[in-house]
Amino acid sequence: MIEGSALLALALDATVGWPQSLYRRIGHPVGVFARIIAGLDRRWNAPSRSDGQRRMAGVITVLILLSAAGSAGWVLQSLLMAFAGAWAWPLMAVLAWPGLAQRSLYDHVRPVAEALERQDLPAARAAVGMIVGRDTAALDEAGVARAAIESLAESFCDGVVAPLFWLLVLGLPGIWVYKAINTADSMIGHREARWRAFGWAAARTDDAMNLVPARLAGMLICLCGGGGWRILWRDASNHASPNAGWPEAAMAGVLGLRLAGPIAYDGILSHKPWIGEGNFPVGAGDVRRGLGIYRRSCLCLWVMAGVWHGRYNASGHRL
């Protein structure tokens, strides 16, 4: 049942994404997690508290998110399986659909390529600023293109592979627990002094939940891009994250270019190591090529989910 739900959820997401009309009316489900996290951050992450107290408060925050998302997912899935009969699997797909971001990611990266193709650097900076946390005001064309490609590669894991993985493994509780933790990591899992202690548990939990999906994402990019394996194995560890380097190194290897390197956050330059190799300028064409690899990698996920679903139906039990 879960396998069929996963396929339909992928189809819904690829076809319509999360429509703006729906977003304006009801927001997005991760907004519930964001409000919980923001409220607990204001209440428990006071500068007057010691680092130990703030770290413990962060642990409790993660436990609250795990309990809330997991319990809600389990109750909804149990009710559907008990009472919806033949409609259970498509209804589960509808409930899983907002947890995927195939269409959204593509729709956010494509405008960067389009602006670069028009040689409209201010528009390209504004577009890439919607998807990255680094300073974008001073980025040149190559910097904008690299930022877009890096975000595309990393978000392929966070927004597509990882939620699909946890949906297939644990059903609705799995995908929504992952989205809750990933939202917490994006909001508080930072190294700045304000969040270093409070966000520690969120960052470490997100690392654990992405451990397998990130490696799958990197290998899928290499498989669907027709190469990049040498750079994947060599440079995946060049990233500060134990996971983000895998899809980024894979994308750098397939495209034959360098990603990462020195990056400015809030006016402070961070001297990150380079990932990949190549001395030619990075531009709009590379963003387009990255989007093509992304589309093929998403298609591979569809095929894998379909094969899993077919084997499940043929054998009559989960494999």
Burial grade of 32 (CB within 10 A; 0-12, 13-18, 19 or more): middle
Tokens 């499940």 label which residue?
312
- Condensed to tens digits (0 to 9), the pLDDT of residues 188-214 reads 998 888 999 999 999 999 999 999 999
Residue range 222-280, pLDDT digits in tens: 999 999 999 999 999 998 889 999 999 999 999 999 998 777 666 566 678 889 998 77
Under 8 Å between Cβ of 1 and 89: yes
CA distances from 161 to 216, 305, 314 (A): 8, 11, 25
pTM here is 0.93
What integer pLDDT is reported at residue 80 of this predicted model?
95
Which of 129, 145, 149 has its CA nearest to residue 137? 129
Q: Angle, nearest 10°, between helix axes 162-188 and 200-225?
A: 140
How many CB atoms are closer than 10 A to CB 90?
A: 16
Beta carbons within 8 Å of 85's beta carbon, 6+ residues apart: none
Phi, psi dihedrals of residue 27, rounded to the nearest 5°: 75, -155
Q: Which of 181, 236, 183, 245 is nearest to 209 (CA)?
A: 181
In this prediction, residue 22 carries a pLDDT of 83
Strand intervals (E) in the chain:
258-260, 263-265, 268-270, 274-276
Residue 265 pairs in a beta bridge with 268
pLDDT, one tens digit per residue, over 9-33 is: 999 999 998 888 888 888 899 999 9
Tell me if residue 100 falls in helix, strand or coil: coil
Separation between Cα atoms, residue 130 and residue 127, nearest integer Å: 5
Highest mean pLDDT among 50-54, 300-304, 307-311: 50-54
Evaluated on CA atoms 99, 103, 105, 108, the torsion sign reads negative
Give the pLDDT score at 258: 92
For the record, the structure tokens of 310 come out as 């077919």
With contact defined as beta carbons under 8 Å apart, do 147 and 135 qualify? no
Residue 135, pLDDT > 90, answer no
pLDDT tens, 144-154? 999 999 999 99
d(CA 187, CA 180): 11
Closest CA to 202 of 301, 73, 64: 64
